């Protein structure tokens, strides 16, 4: 049997994202041994019991000894601190990558904390739904036919980029390269803003005096619209703050759209409303038919 | 065999809602004969071919001859015109009900057009997802374990209200009574506003120069958030205009929520954002666990 792609993998933050990466690589026989490390012992012990990881490291020197790759899969707000902690113990050959939903801030932390390691630190972001969180939600096929955006640094060693891309491909994902700036603008629009809007709507309604009555009449449309309001609060706090400039720009553009819709309602303009709804329906169904063929 | 609850039912507008009502009553053996009537012949012919209706009426006198119940299941913007057309041909014993998503405007049309028939005109609204439209999407179990809101008029004959409620119960639905005002406020919040928000987001993104790139990175969260933007444009134009006073009030309250969220982003207030997200997640998951037990 040939050697696996990654001999020893360290997963920092063994939740849905990190746990599913480990399971997928195990399933593809692309990893030899997975070490888990994290803030608190309980999730690591569950991950070990579930067979998601093969061992738990009590500290960074233990984790990084002989490591071929480290995946950071924590909320992005922790990236800077974790990189600072791991930096003194990193061997020159170890590849570091991440799964953060924002890229410019993670890259800022990379330049600040891992500047000695730049050829082998490859930022990435797997695009996989994560409204269920925790290692119990992890599964080996999470990344199949999903996009993984890789945003290489100019300083990256092409071989390190190849290994990161090969690891995600072994998970069944499609790798797509972008600049970090482009990444952060695109995901502010199609992911971060919708999450903010869904959290906001549920929060608005839940605070009403008649909240119980309102929820008792909410149906499947409301369920689907608000599904992402079930997402992890700390993770989304970090994403919204890390990417807040792009997110505010998207929010402002959306507020202009809502102001236009409000004017159509005030003006009782049925023709313009119907045209707008029809254009939205066509665009949405065209996209969904391609992205999620049934 | 005993007589069915409804001997002859007229369905005006044989789409998802009207078609599923006919199929459910047929399945429950609660109807003898279903007559379809509508604006255009093609959907009626498909409904006949699919066995959703038993015959097609070319005009109101034919449709209403011997009718026990009429269900209006057209977009609400047509209610006034249709009631005016049917009024001269209604027999005193025929019960009229509707499936409109807004109630105050339908009731205005009832008082204007069916004032001779008030004891037997019972407004109602089945709460069933309708992002797929047309008779091809109709199915007999659409209303099982769904709510149907009945908003009786003070002038209603209690026996007519009972028959309408019994018909919906025969479809497997739970009947809940409300005032029309309360109905329209509640559904502006939990249904009409989310539809407007989803249509608006897709329309906003679809108009961008990089729309294709944006959609190519949209994932399952975006799919679920925007599912209701696949809804019927004419139906939703009518709903938004019919209920625009309550809808604008809800939109304004939501705009205040978004202004608050924007201030938290500008102020980089992670604690307040996380608290808001956590409250929203808890409220959403508590509701979804009760409303959609798995």
Closest Cβ–Cβ partner in B147, B189, B228 for A205: B189
Chain A residues whose CB is inside 8 A of the B278 CB are: 233
Question: Is residue B145 in a domain?
Answer: yes
Q: Are B73 and B11 in contact (CB under 8 A)?
A: yes
Closest Cβ–Cβ partner in A191, A222, A236 for B277: A236
Cα separation of the two ends of chain A: 38
- B167 plus B201 within the same structural domain: no
pLDDT of residue A129: 67
Any B CB within 8 A of A254 CB: yes
Distance between CA atoms of residues B161 and B150, nearest Å: 8
Q: Which one of A129, A189, A252, A259 would you mutate to disrupt binding with B, by most B Cβ within 10 Å of its Cβ?
A: A189
Classify residue B253 as left (phi > 0), alpha (psi -120 to 50) or beta: alpha
- B156 plus B17 within the same structural domain: yes
Chain B residues whose CB is inside 8 A of the A257 CB are: 200-201, 203-204
Closest Cβ–Cβ partner in B147, B257, B287 for A215: B287
Distance between CA atoms of residues A257 and A274, nearest Å: 15
Any A CB within 8 A of B143 CB: no
User: How many CB atoms are located within 10 Å of the residue B81 CB?
Assistant: 12
- B155 plus B255 within the same structural domain: no
- A173 plus A188 within the same structural domain: no
Longest Cα–Cα distance in chain A? 72
Question: Is residue A26 in a domain?
Answer: yes
Distance between CA atoms of residues A94 and A64, nearest Å: 8
Contact flag B197-A193 (C-beta cutoff 8 Å) = no
User: How many CB atoms are located within 10 Å of the residue A266 CB?
Assistant: 10
* Boundary (domain end) residue, out of B178, B210, B243: B178
One pLDDT digit (tens) per residue for chain A, 294 residues? 578 999 999 999 999 999 999 999 999 999 999 999 999 999 999 999 999 999 999 999 999 999 999 999 999 999 999 999 999 999 999 999 999 999 999 999 999 999 999 999 999 999 986 567 899 999 999 999 999 999 999 999 999 999 999 999 999 999 999 999 999 999 999 999 999 999 999 999 999 999 999 999 999 999 999 999 999 999 999 999 999 999 999 999 999 999 999 999 999 999 999 999 999 999 999 999 998 887
Contact flag B237-A266 (C-beta cutoff 8 Å) = no
- B111 plus B199 within the same structural domain: no
Which residue reads 């057309």 in tokens? Answer: B85
- B153 plus B210 within the same structural domain: no
Question: Is residue B255 in a domain?
Answer: yes
Contact flag B199-A277 (C-beta cutoff 8 Å) = yes
Residues of chain B with pLDDT under 70: 1, 129-131
Domain extent for A252: 182-291
Question: Is residue A278 in a domain?
Answer: yes
Question: Is residue B1 in a domain?
Answer: no
Chain A residues whose CB is inside 8 A of the B129 CB are: 219-221
Question: Is residue B38 in a domain?
Answer: yes
pLDDT, tens digit, for every residue of A215-259? 999 999 999 999 999 999 999 999 999 999 999 999 999 999 999
pLDDT, tens digit, for every residue of B232-290? 999 999 999 999 999 999 999 999 999 999 999 999 999 999 999 999 999 999 999 99
Distance between CA atoms of residues B203 and A293, nearest Å: 22
Any A CB within 8 A of B293 CB: no
Q: Which one of B125, B129, B211, B222 would you mutate to disrupt binding with A, by most A Cβ within 10 Å of its Cβ?
A: B222
Instruction: List, in sequence order, every beta strand (DSSP E) within A112-166.
Output: 121-122, 124-126, 147-150
- B207 plus B247 within the same structural domain: yes
Residue A260 sits in a domain of what CATH number?
1.10.3660.10
- B18 plus B137 within the same structural domain: yes
Tell whether the torsion through CA atoms of A184, A187, A193 and A196 is positive or negative. negative
Total residues belonging to chain A = 294
Do strands B95-98 and A147-150 pair parallel, antiparallel, or not at all (unpaired)? unpaired
Tell whether the torsion through CA atoms of A187, A191, A193 and A196 is positive or negative. negative
CA B77 to chain centre: 13
- A173 plus A204 within the same structural domain: no
Distances (CA, A) of A161 to A119, A125, A139, B67, B239: 9, 13, 25, 73, 52
B257's CB contacts (< 8 A; 6+ apart) are A200, A201, A203, A204
Closest Cβ–Cβ partner in B194, B208, B217 for A225: B194
Contact flag A276-B197 (C-beta cutoff 8 Å) = no
- B199 plus B238 within the same structural domain: yes
Distance between CA atoms of residues B185 and B28, nearest Å: 33
Q: How many helices (H) and strands (E) does chain A have?
A: 13, 9
Chain B residues whose CB is inside 8 A of the A198 CB are: 225, 280
What ipTM, to 2 d.p.?
0.89
Contact flag A147-B217 (C-beta cutoff 8 Å) = yes
Distance between CA atoms of residues A144 and A74, nearest Å: 21
Q: What are phi and psi of B55, to 5 degrees?
A: -160, 165
Domain count, chain A: 2
Chain B residues whose CB is inside 8 A of the A283 CB are: 202-203, 205-206, 211, 215
Burial category of A189 from C-beta neighbours within 10 Å (exposed 0-12, middle 13-18, buried 19 and up):
buried
pLDDT of residue B292: 87
Residue A216, min C-alpha distance to chain B (Å) = 8
Give the strands of the sheet with B174-177, arranged side by side. Answer: B124-126, B147-150, B174-177
Residue B62, min C-alpha distance to chain A (Å) = 33
3-state class (DSSP) for residue B15 = coil
Chain B residues whose CB is inside 8 A of the A289 CB are: none
Classify residue A131 as left (phi > 0), alpha (psi -120 to 50) or beta: alpha
The 3-class SS string of A10-47 reads EEECCCHHHHHHHHHHHHCCCEEEEEEECCCHHHHHHH
* Boundary (domain end) residue, out of B178, B198, B218: B178
- A165 plus A186 within the same structural domain: no
pLDDT of residue A133: 80
* Boundary (domain end) residue, out of B149, B178, B207: B178
pLDDT of residue B128: 86
HSE (CB half, 13 Å, CA atoms) of A215?
25
Question: Is residue A261 in a domain?
Answer: yes
Residue B111, min C-alpha distance to chain A (Å) = 22
Bridge partners (DSSP) of residue B31 are: B6
* Residues of chain B numbered 41-80 and touching chain A (CB < 8 Å): 77
Question: A221 is written with which tokens?
Answer: 């449309």
Residue B43 sits in a domain of what CATH number?
3.40.50.720
Question: Is residue A91 in a domain?
Answer: yes
Q: Are A24 and A140 in contact (CB under 8 A)?
A: yes
- B31 plus B120 within the same structural domain: yes
Distance between CA atoms of residues B255 and A276, nearest Å: 20
């Amino acid at each position: 049997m040939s050697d696996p792609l990654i001999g020893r993998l360290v997963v920092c933050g063994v939740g849905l994202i990190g746990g599913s990466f480990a399971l997928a690589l195990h399933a593809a026989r692309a990893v030899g041994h997975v070490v888990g490390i994290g803030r608190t012992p309980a999730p690591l012990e569950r991950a070990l019991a579930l067979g998601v990881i093969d061992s738990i490291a009590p500290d960074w020197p233990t984790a990084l000894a002989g490591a071929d790759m480290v995946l950071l899969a924590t909320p992005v707000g922790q990236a800077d601190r974790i990189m600072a902690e791991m930096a003194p113990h990193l061997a020159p050959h170890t590849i570091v990558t991440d799964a953060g939903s924002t890229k410019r801030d993670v890259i800022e932390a990379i330049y600040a904390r891992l500047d000695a390691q730049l050829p082998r630190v490859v930022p990435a972001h797997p695009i996989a739904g994560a409204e269920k969180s925790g290692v119990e939600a992890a599964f080996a096929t999470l990344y199949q036919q999903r996009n993984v955006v890789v945003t290489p640094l100019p300083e990256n060693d092409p071989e390190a980029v190849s290994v990161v891309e090969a690891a995600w491909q072994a998970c069944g994902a499609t790798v797509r390269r972008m600049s970090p700036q482009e990444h952060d603008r695109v995901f502010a629009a199609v992911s971060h803003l919708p999450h903010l809007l869904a959290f906001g709507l549920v929060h608005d309604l839940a605070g009403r005096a008649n909240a119980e009555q309102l929820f008792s009449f909410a149906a499947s449309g409301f369920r689907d619209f608000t599904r992402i309001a079930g997402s992890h609060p700390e993770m989304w706090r970090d994403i919204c703050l890390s990417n807040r400039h792009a997110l505010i720009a998207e929010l402002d553009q959306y507020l202009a759209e809502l102001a236009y819709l409000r004017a159509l309602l005030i003006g009782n303009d049925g023709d313009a409303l119907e045209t707008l709804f029809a254009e939205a329906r066509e665009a949405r169904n065209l996209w969904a038919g391609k992205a999620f063929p049934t």
